[in-house]
Structure 1
Amino acid sequence: MSPFSILLIGLAMSTDAFAAAIGKGVAMGRPRLRDALRTGLIFGTIEAITPLLGWLLGKAAAPYVQAWDHWIAFVLLLGLGLHMIINGVRGDEHDEPEAQADSARSFWLLALTGLATSIDAAAIGVGLAFLDVHIGIVAAVIGLCTFGMVTLGVLLGSKLGEIAGKRAEILGGIVLILVGAGILYEHLQHPLA
């Protein structure tokens, strides 16, 4: 997997966290840099750990599905991409930033939100277990991209609003589908690779 593909995965994985961070920024009103960095660190750390866990799960299953690994990676990326696009188009009607304003700074609330937005990163880890890729580098890139995007999302939350966050999630879904198609295309072009 090329460094550019790894960067695209990192950016795509950070878009749902970015959308959530915009909501957190709105709920915080005028967030301070310290609050944004703290939120980014929590989300980035969780987002870096979950692909490692998914990768371990995928490696355990790898001997049983090696002939289909490229299809599994493609289907997982396609499914995650479509899920992100649907969520971005549909929106979250149940979000209530005003009701969350008092507890938005809570570590556990941030950690739970970070975990909820990182489930897709665990699935990416499962898919990457079937490819020749260094999971530590991918996890670090995902974590750093998420840290940066969440920090930015919190700071800009009150200015960008929810619309930009949903558009970012749609874009992230499209990127995941394209990366999955690239993996499948590369394997079908070079089946022994």
Structure 2
Amino acid sequence: MAFEIISTLLIAVALAMDAFSVSLTKGFTQNLKTNQILYYGLFFGFFQFMMPIIGYYIGGIISQFLASIASVIGFILLLAIGLNMIRESLEDEDESADSFSFSEVTLLAIATSIDALAVGLTYALLNESIIIPSIIIGIVAFIFSIIGIFLGKKIGDYFGGRFQILGGVILILIGIKILLGL
């Protein structure tokens, strides 16, 4: 039992790393209000919670097809958002730095939780329960997202300036990592 909890926590931490990286980027590229920070945590946590459950119940032939294109979908989403961040950074700095979009948060949450879908498929193949692991995965992603934003704000405050280009590049690199299955 203790081994299962530890392994689930390790899986949750590994899955939360993309959400943490994106949150870190958002922390140093946007001046987010407290409720917006909470939205990031809730969206990332919710999608990290739901994707293993969805993966668990997909199964069969559909799961093989989705597994083959999931990395491409994640890459395309992160590439588009990263390129948009770079484009916005080259525009008027005051306009782009404070923009907040529910659609962007949703796309980022989906893109960073694609790996969790595969974890759900794995749990189904192992015939293990998915609810408790999904809850743990969601909570860890929520916590890591909030911590990432606060750390990003500190980095952004310390270094100031044009971190949005760096943020866009980081998102694109995360997308490439997902595409290559690293």
Same-fold call, TM cutoff 0.5: yes
Report deviation, 1:93.
Answer: 7.7
Contact 1:17 1:149 in 2 (8 A): yes
Contact 1:32 1:155 in 2 (8 A): no
Runs (4+) off by over 6 Å: none
Report deviation, 1:158.
Answer: 2.8
CA distance in 2, matches of 1:114, 1:93: 14
Deviations 1:33-82 (A, max 9, x none): 32211210011111111111111123x46xxxxxxxxxx9xxx9xxx9xx
Report deviation, 1:152.
Answer: 1.0
Please tell me the residue identity of whatever aligns with 2:9: L
CA distance in 2, matches of 1:6, 1:52: 14
Please tell me the residue identity of whatever aligns with 2:144: M
The residue correspondences of 1:7-26 to structure 2 (distance < 5 A) are 7-26=9-28
Contact 1:55 1:128 in 2 (8 A): yes
Structure 1 portions without partners, runs of 5+? 62-71, 81-91, 178-193
The answer to whether residue 120 in structure 2 is matched with residue 125 in structure 1 is yes
Structure 2 portions without partners, runs of 5+? 72-80, 157-165
Name the residue aligned to 1:191. none
Query: What's the TM-score once normalised by structure 2's chain length?
Result: 0.64
Report deviation, 1:148.
Answer: 0.4
Among candidates 133, 136, 147, match of residue 131 of structure 2: 136
Q: Secondary structure at the match of 1:6?
A: helix
The answer to whether residue 97 in structure 2 is matched with residue 101 in structure 1 is yes
CA distance in 1, matches of 2:143, 2:126: 27
Please tell me the residue identity of whatever aligns with 1:41: L
Q: Secondary structure at the match of 1:26?
A: helix
The answer to whether residue 115 in structure 2 is matched with residue 114 in structure 1 is no
The answer to whether residue 44 in structure 2 is matched with residue 43 in structure 1 is yes
Q: CA RMSD in A?
A: 3.3
Query: What's the TM-score once normalised by structure 1's chain length?
Result: 0.61
Contact 1:52 1:125 in 2 (8 A): yes
Percent same amino acid among aligned pairs? 32
148 and 27 in structure 1: CA distance in 2 versus 1, 3 angstrom threshold: same
CA distance in 2, matches of 1:4, 1:10: 10
Name the residue aligned to 1:182. none
Report deviation, 1:139.
Answer: 0.8
Give the total of aligned pairs.
141
